[in-house]
Amino acid sequence: MQVNLRESWWIRDVEIPTRLVLAPMAGVSVQAFRRQGRRYGAGLVCSEMVSCAGLEHRNERTLGYLRVGADEHPLAIQIFGAEPAVMAEAARMVEAAGADLVDVNFGCPVRKVTKTGAGATLLDDPDRACRIVEAMAEAVIVPVSVKMRRGLENGSRTCLDVGPRLVEAGASTLTLHPRSAKQMYTGEADHALTAELVSLVDVPVVASGDITSRARAQAVLATTGAAAVMVGRGAQGNPWTLREIVDGDSAEPTREEVAAELILFIRETVRELGQRRASGFLKKFYGWYLGRGRFPRPFKQELVQLESADEVARRLFAAAPGAAEIVERLEAELPDPADEILLDQMPISIYGGG
């Protein structure tokens, strides 16, 4: 059975225009990444996970994750933490920033997150997990979504017990990555578990894990009954895989197209993070974009050695002169930066003072 990935679906009162969701990824899902994902077919984009403790303490860098662009909607901002009251306040801040959904992370397996009692650890504390979701759902009008793993240990079926309870607590949608926290990203995602979860809840379920092609997306949607698929690592430096999944367009990008997308990504990231932070942050993206035989390996190594992101952009223009016209067109399509919701436009009470 072929599923139309261009068909819209709903998370409560939020319409998602395609059945492809761009995953929240730490150190990756900046605004430039999300905007690019929307252009290439993602119906819903997600921020990287944001610390509710950082929001509570009004950390300037953490607050910066709440920047929302006019072309990102529908957008979910993901938060993590372990205290219901603090998570509820963070959810209010996410709503005030203009997000369409507030997502809670019950899936992160990384030690620095789980040691605080957050992330995947909460699957082993379902009462607390439900209190968090309930507090968030009562605090905001926008839907609350939950992203989780199958459980902490290999072979765990914890998600099948916890998932329905989270829905009862107020979750409007669930995303399941059916690997254990212990697995990290090894082995295969067991989407038979996704199908079981779909049968147990009356809200949309998003299938995450190993969605790397249109054929795989179609197979997972058809066999699980999930409302949508989530793509993560496959889209890193490769937005064309989103286009292939949604539309079946498997045409390889030209060198000029690759260079243009990377240059735009660099410029947008510098605008968001500043030259100094962006220069270090961007280095991992050079290999992701320019790999797959698109550019010679020495060229990628050369870019990593350059001191500033601006120098990298100039070198890319020199290597692919035809990229200039594409970049000009792409930049003309971007919304006016004045349309962004920035911190000084948010109610003052949520970020300190009066």
Q: Which residues are catalytic?
A: 108
Token pair in block for residue 80: 């993590």
Preceding peptide of 74 cis, ω within 30°: yes
3-state secondary structure of 304: helix
Query: Do 130 and 166 touch, CB atoms closer than 8 A?
Result: yes
Sort 93 into a burial class: Cβ within 10 Å, 0-12 / 13-18 / 19+.
Answer: buried
* Segments of the chain assigned E as strands: 9-11, 14-16, 20-22, 44-46, 50-51, 75-80, 101-106, 144-151, 171-180, 205-208, 228-231
3-state secondary structure of 12: coil
3-state secondary structure of 25: coil
- Cα 228 to Cα 23, 56, 168, 214, 322: the distances in Å are 12, 32, 21, 12, 36
3-state secondary structure of 175: strand
Cα 104 to Cα 20: distance, rounded to the nearest angstrom: 19
Cα 150 to Cα 50: distance, rounded to the nearest angstrom: 22
Nearest to 341 by CA among 3, 176, 96, 79: 96
Sort 116 into a burial class: Cβ within 10 Å, 0-12 / 13-18 / 19+.
Answer: middle
Nearest to 99 by CA among 143, 147, 35: 143
3-state secondary structure of 121: helix
